[in-house]
Amino acid sequence: MASLSRALRVAATRPPRSLARRPELCPLSSGARPTAEKNVPYQRTLKEERGPSAAAQGPSRPLPSTADVVVIGGGSLGCQTLYHLAKLGVSGALLLERGRLTSGTTWHTAGLLWQLRPSDVEVELLAHTRRVVSRDLPEETGLHTGWVPNGGLFIASSRQRLLEYQRLMSLGKAYSVESHVLSPAETKTLYPLMNVDDLYGTLYVPGDGTIDPAGTCSALARAATARAAQIIENCPVTSIRVRTDDFGVRRVAAVETEHGSIQTPCVVNCAGVWAGAVGRMAGVKVPLVAMHHAYVVTERIEGIQNMPNVRDHDASIYLRLQGDALSVGGYEANPIFWEEVSDKFAFGLFDLDWEVFGQHIEGAVNRVPVLEKTGVKSTVCGPESFTPDHKPLMGEAPELRGFFLGCGFNSAGMMLGGGCGQELAHWIVHGRPEKDMYGYDIRRFHCSLTGHGRWIRERSHESYAKNYSIVFPHDEPLAGRNMRTGPLHEELLAQGCVFQERHGWERPGWFTPEGTAPVLPYDYYGAYGNRAHQDHAYGKLLADEHTFEFPPHHDVIKQECLACRGAAAVFDMSYFGKFYLVGLDARKAADWLFSADVSRPPGSTVYTCMLNHRGGTESDLTVSRLAPGPQASPLAPAFEGDGYYLAVGGAAAQHNSSYILAALQDRRFRCQLIDSSEALGLISIQGPASRAILQEVLDADLSNEAFPFSTHKLVTAAGHLVRAMRLSFVGELGWELHIPRLSCVPVYQAVMAAGAKHGLVPAGYRAIDNLSIEKGYRHWHADLRPDDSPLEAGLAFTCKLKSATPFLGREALEKQRAQGLRRRLVCLTVDEKVPVFGLEAIWRDGRVVGHTRRAGFGFAIDKPIAYGYVRDPSGGLVSPDFVKSGDYALERMGVTYPAQAHLKSPFDPDNKRVKGIY
C-alpha cells in the first residue's frame, strides 16, 4: 500500500482540476459520485448482511397507528434523542430509519470526543455525552459502547494558540475537567513519536477519548426499547402531513411511509445530511449543506498504541488512535460540496479526492514523522452536514408547531449527541431544554436567511474552512455579509464604520479614523478558482482583532466610550427588533408574557423580561404602552383594544417573535404581533450633552418634568415624525429615536449637525458593550440566559411578584425566592490592566466558584470588569454576605489576578447620571 508521503507527491503532480468560478451559481463538487460500499476501520458496523435489499425486506416490525413522538433518522442524534425521550417517560416514542441504524453518516464517523471547547454550554453537553457512553449505557444494558478514554492532546505551534489553550484550561477548572498545559519536552515524553521542535506547548486532557458508533447506537437502542420505545428500520418516510387548526396555526398531524401512516403531534428531524429533504416534506427550511469529509487509516505503527488523540489546529488535522494505527483527517479550504444528495445512499462512501485531501498529509507527517513511511490501509470519505455558523440546528421550527430539528452537527454528532439528545428530549416534553440552547436553536436565524441559498453556502463554507482556526473574542465572518443593512448603512460607512455581523444584520462595531472599510463579496479564501482579495481594508482591520491582548484600536473604542461619558455619542441601533403587540387580548397577553407590570398609562416605557416555565430568562426588552387609534401611521398600526411597542436586541429578534407567537397560540389570545424591524430605524443619543443637542432637533420640551425617564412621545425631528423614548443602555442621560426608514438619514444628519458644537461622536456596539458592562446593565444571552432567573441576575425589580397578576414563570420564581439562591451574578473588577473576554475562572478563597460570562474594559473607572455567576462549592446558599465576605481572583490564560467583587456597579451606583444629575 502506498505511503502517505507518496500520496502527497502524486497529488502534487496532478494537473489542477477545472473548478467553478461562481460558486453561488455553479457546482463546486469534483463530480465524485458514491462508490461501491467500503469498510470503515471499526471492529463492526450495523451494516446488514448480504441478502435481499432493505426495500424488499420492508419494515423491521409492524407500524403502529399512532405515536407520541416520531424521530426520523437512526444515527447518533436519533438514537440519543429516542433514548432520552424514553428516560423521560415517553412510552409512545418511535424511531423510523429508512435503512439500518447508523447507515447515513454516523457509521463512518471518526468518533472523537474532546471535553474542552470555548463555550461553557458545549463543555456541559460534552460532559453528558461522556457520562452516557462511559457509565450510563454500560450500567443499563451490560453492553460495551466502545468508549476508549485514551486522552487528547491539543497542539500549539504559535503563542496565540497556546493562549487559547490556556483559556480553555481555565474554563475547564470551573467544570472539574482535568487538563494540563505541557512543555514541548513533556509532550515528547507523553507522545514519543511526535515531532515537538516547532511547538510552543500542548494542552493535555486525560479524560478525552473515542466513541464507537455501532457499539453506542446498539446500546442506545437496547436501553430505549427496554423503556417501551420502538425502532423500525427499513422504513423510509415519504411525507409529513400537516393540519391547520381553528386559529390558523400549522401543526404536525402524521408521518406517511410507503408502508402506512402514523398519526403523531410531534416529529423530530434527525436525518443528518438528508434533513433538508425531510424539512421540505413539511414546508420547513433547514439551513445546511452537504460536503465530503474524509480521513485515511494507516497501516500498523509500532509504538503508537495507547497514545492520546491529537488535534493540530494550526495544521488543520487530527490524529485519532485506531488500535495500533492512526486515522488522519482534517478540514480544508476547498471542501467538495455534495450537490445532489441521494436518498439511496446508505453505508456508502465516496472515492477520496487526493488533490483535496493531500494538503493534510504534510502537516500530519510533520507532526508524526513516522507517517512518512507508513502505508495507507483504507480511505474513508463520506457525507457530512454543515451549517452557517458551525453549530447544530435544534428546537421547534417556527414555521410548524410540533416539528423539531436535531440535525446539522458539523461532523460532531457523536461527541455532542448525548448532551444534545437530552436537551432535545426536554425541549419536546417540557417545552424547553434544561440548559441554554439558544446558540443551537433554529430560531437564532432570521427567517429571511434560512432559505437563502447563497448565504447558507458561503457561511457554511467559511465555517468549515475555519473550523480549526483560533476562536478570537472579536472575530467576524467574511462570508454572507451585507445581507441585511440598516437605513444608515452607507452614511455610517462613509464615516469609517467597521461593521459587525449578527445573523445577517450589519451593525456598527466601531469607527476607524483610517478611512472607509467596506466588506467585500466573499472570496472563498481563494478556493474554487476565486481570487483572494488583496489590500482589503476591512480584512486588515479584522486581522488586527486576532489577538488575546488589547487590539491596536483599543484606544479608538476608548475615545468613543469617554466621549459618551463626557459629552455625547450617537449609536445606530436600527438592528434592534421592533414589534407591535396589538388587539383585544393584547393586555392579557402582555400581563402573561412580561415579568414586569407593563399595563401602565399610554406614554410609559418599561424594561422587562420574558420568562419560561422554569423561571429562566428568554428575553429582556422594553415595552411601551400605546394609545389606541383608528388610523395607521408609520409609527403605529391602527388597532382596537390595547397596544404595545416592543424593542428587543436584534440578534434575538427571531427568537423573541417566535417565542411570543408560540405563547399567543398556546394561550389563544386574540391579538397580533406585527414585525416592523425593517420599516423602522433607531438611533440612540447618550451623554451629558444629549438634552442640549436634541433640544435643537426635537419640537418637544426635554426637561425632567416634561419628559421623565422611561417615557415616550411622538415628536417631530427635523420635520419628520419620530417616537422619542427617554432610555439608556449605557448609563447616561439620553433618548432613543425610533424613526420611519425613509426619515432616518435626514434625522441622523440633523442630530449630527446639532451635536457638532457639543462634541457628539458616532459610536458602535463595541463601545456599547464596554459602557453597559461598566454600568452593570445586562446583555441577554451573555449575563442573562434561558437558564438564568431574574432573581439570580439581580433583576428582581423587573418581576411583578408583589402583585397578584399571573405571569409566565411566576411559580418558579416564587419557589426560588422561598428556597434561596444557589448562585448569583457578581461584578468583578481587576486592578491590573489586562484584557478579559469572558470564560475566565472565578476563584474565591482559593476555590473555583464559577466562570465569567461577559467581560470588557471600564474606561471611566479605568479597570477590566467582568460578570459571572458565583456558587458556593459546599452547596450552600449564595447570599449578599457570602459574596461580600470572599477573597476573589480571576484566572486569565492560566494566570490569576486579584479581583474585587461588587453587588452593585462600581460606576454611578446611585443611578444619578440617567436622571441627568452630573
pLDDT of residue 47: 74
Q: How far is CA 330 from CA 114, 211, 295, 314, 460, in A?
A: 15, 18, 7, 11, 16
Is pLDDT above 50 for 49? Answer: no
The three grid cell numbers given for residue 324, joined into one nine-digit string: 495500533
Angstrom distance (rounded) from CA 99 to CA 347: 9
The pLDDT tens digits of the residues spanning 570-629 come to 999 999 999 999 999 999 999 999 999 999 999 999 999 999 999 999 999 999 999 987
pLDDT attached to residue 629: 79
Q: Which amino acid is at 293?
A: H
Instruction: Report the predicted TM-score, pTM, of the whole model to 2 decimal places.
Output: 0.94
How far apart CA 171 and CA 701 sit, in angstroms, is: 51
Indicate whether 8 pLDDT > 60: no
Whether residue 20 has pLDDT greater than 70: no
pLDDT category of residue 4 using cuts at 50, 70 and 90: low
Residues pairing with 758 in the sheet? none
**678-699 mean pLDDT:** 98
Beta-carbon contacts of residue 444 (< 8 Å; ≥ 6 apart): 389, 438, 503, 651, 654, 655
Express each pLDDT in 730-782 by its tens digit.
999 999 999 999 999 999 999 999 999 999 999 999 999 999 999 999 999 99
pLDDT band at 343 (very low <50, low <70, confident <90, very high): confident
Classify strands 484-485 and 505-511 as parallel, antiparallel or unpaired.
parallel
Digit-coded pLDDT (tens) for 241-275: 999 998 899 999 999 999 999 999 999 999 999 99
DSSP 3-state percent helix, strand, coil across the chain (nearest 5): 30, 25, 45
Average pLDDT (521-535) is 95
Please provide residue 892's backbone torsions phi and psi, each rounded to the nearest 5 degrees: -115, 120
The cell for 272 is: 443528518
Cβ neighbours around 750 below 10 Å, total: 18
| 192, pLDDT greater than 90 | yes
Q: What are phi and psi of 413, to 5 degrees?
A: -65, -35
Question: What's the rounded mean pLDDT across residues 660-686?
Answer: 97
258: alpha, beta or left, given left = phi > 0 and alpha = psi -120 to 50?
alpha
Nearest to 871 by CA among 836, 841, 894: 841
Q: How confident is the model at residue 50 (pLDDT cuts 50, 70, 90)?
A: very low
pLDDT at 23 over 50: no
pLDDT for 48 equals 56
Q: Domains in the chain, ordered, with CATH?
A: 69-108+213-287+389-440 (3.50.50.60), 147-210+291-383 (3.30.9.10), 577-676+789-819 (3.30.70.1400), 821-917 (2.40.30.110)
Q: Give the H or E element holding residue 369.
A: none
> Percent of the chain beyond pLDDT 70?
95
Residue 888: HSE in the Cβ half-sphere, 13 Å Cα cutoff: 29
Residue closest to 574 by CA, chosen among 643, 628, 497:
497
DSSP 3-state assignment of 539?
A: helix
Helix axes 586-593, 653-667, angle to 10 degrees: 120
Between residues 35 and 758, the one the model is more confident about: 758
Q: Residue 149 to residues 146, 281, 308, 342: CA-CA distances in angstroms?
A: 10, 41, 9, 36
Place of cell 466573499: 522
Percentage of the chain beyond pLDDT 90 is: 91
- Other C-beta atoms closer than 10 Å to the C-beta of 672 total 17
Alpha carbon distance, N-terminus to C-terminus of the chain: 79
* Contact present, 390 and 410 (Cβ < 8 Å): yes
Mean pLDDT computed over 130-158: 97
Using the predicted structure, report yes or no on whether residue 33 has a pLDDT greater than 90. Answer: no
β-pairing, 289-298 with 325-330? antiparallel
Whether pLDDT at 640 is above 50? yes
Residue 16 clears pLDDT 90, i.e. is over it: no
Scanning 690-800, the segments in alpha helix (DSSP H) are: 690-695, 744-755, 765-775
Please name the residues in contact with 523: beta carbons below 8 A apart, sequence gap of 6 or more.
Answer: 478, 530, 531, 532, 533
- pLDDT in the model for residue 879: 97
With 70 as the cut, is the pLDDT of residue 7 above it? no
3-class DSSP assignment, residue 405: strand
In 3D space, the residue among 519, 546, 545, 544 whose CA is nearest the CA of residue 533 turns out to be: 519
667-to-243, 664, 670 alpha-carbon distances in Å? 19, 5, 9
Three-state SS string over 398-449 comes to CCCECEEEEECCCCCHHHHHHHHHHHHHHHHHHCCCCCCCCCCEHHHCCCCC
Mean pLDDT calculated for residue range 418-446: 97
Residue 173: which region, alpha, beta or left (left: phi > 0; alpha: psi -120 to 50)? Answer: alpha
Residue 501 has pLDDT above 80, yes or no: yes
Query: Average pLDDT of the chain?
Result: 94
Q: Can you tell me the mean pLDDT for 30-57? A: 54
